[in-house]
Structure 1
Amino acid sequence: MQLVHEPISGGDSTDERDDRRVLATDVDIADSLLSQTRGLMFRRSIPDDYALAFQFDSAEVRDVHMLFVFFSIDALWVADGVVQRVERLRPWLSFARAECDLLVELPAGAADGVESGDRVVLEEA
């Protein structure tokens, strides 16, 4: 599975697929209560091409805290494939929330260039 970013079209005639960028090729799905609760806590690092994705049945306000996370991350809140919020979170101190049905945690810098309104999708590699 991979995480793909599709930026908002700039209105030119180029094929939107040309603008697609793979954000992560190593995607873990947090699909149990334990994996969702633990998230990235207690890990010392994650690979540059890694993402932890939390998929939900409906869009609701979801929180991300950085307690016991030892490195900065980029977090994406996505609803119906559209990015609602992008945030760089610092270790131990940061907290953020937004509405989403897909929440993605990436290494800091991996989401550079991703903006609210862009599309982000999980797809089979």
Structure 2
Amino acid sequence: MRLVHAADGSVASPDDRTTLATQIDLADSLLAQTRGLMFRRSLPENFALAFRFDDASIRDVHMLFVFVPLDVIWVADGVVQRVEQLKPWRGFAREHADTILELPAGAAAGVEPGDEIALIES
């Protein structure tokens, strides 16, 4: 699975997209969603943790017990709603989304609200 981004085009077109991450972990259980990236001391390059939900709603991200800074992307229907770099231990943010993506700090440089983003099976 890959996380791809298109600023000025469509993620469906390989010419318009860039790859943000190739190592994707899915937070697909309540335990995985609750734990998130807590207690992790480092993250590999090209990594993303994806939280996928059945519907779009206000979704919170906290940084309690998270030891590394993160870029967090809130997505609704494949469109970026918000991008925020959160600091360890004290960061908190919320936004309307059906998907949340957590990446190492700096990995989401150039991603802006209104851009398209998608998880694509390899």
The alignment's TM-score, normalised by the length of structure 1, stands at: 0.92
Q: 2:79 corresponds to which residue?
A: 82
The unaligned stretches of length 5 or more in structure 1 are 10-15
In structure 2, C-alpha distance between the alignment counterparts of 1:68 and 1:19, rounded to whole Å: 37
Q: 2:98 corresponds to which residue?
A: 101
**Residue identity matched to 2:22:** T
Larger radius of gyration: 1
- What is the deviation of 1:8? 2.9
Residue 61 (str. 1) matches residue 58 (str. 2): yes
4+ residue stretches of structure 1 with deviation over 6 A? none
Residue 45 (str. 1) matches residue 42 (str. 2): yes
Q: 1:12 corresponds to which residue?
A: none
Q: Report sequence identity in percent.
A: 64
Q: 1:13 corresponds to which residue?
A: none
Q: Are the aligned partners of 1:8 and 1:117 in contact in 2 as well (CA < 8 Å)?
A: no
- What is the deviation of 1:48? 1.2
In structure 2, C-alpha distance between the alignment counterparts of 1:8 and 1:80, rounded to whole Å: 17
Q: 2:30 aligns with which of 26, 33, 44?
A: 33
Residue 72 (str. 1) matches residue 69 (str. 2): yes
**Residue identity matched to 1:4:** V
Q: 2:5 corresponds to which residue?
A: 5
The CA RMSD measured in Å over matched residues stands at 0.9
The unaligned stretches of length 5 or more in structure 2 are none
Provide the secondary structure at the position in 2 that maps to 1:105: strand
The superposition leaves residues 47-78 of structure 1 with CA deviations (integer Å, 9 ceiling, x where unpaired) of 11000000000000000000000010000000
In structure 2, C-alpha distance between the alignment counterparts of 1:77 and 1:94, rounded to whole Å: 15
Q: 1:22 aligns with which of 19, 24, 32?
A: 19
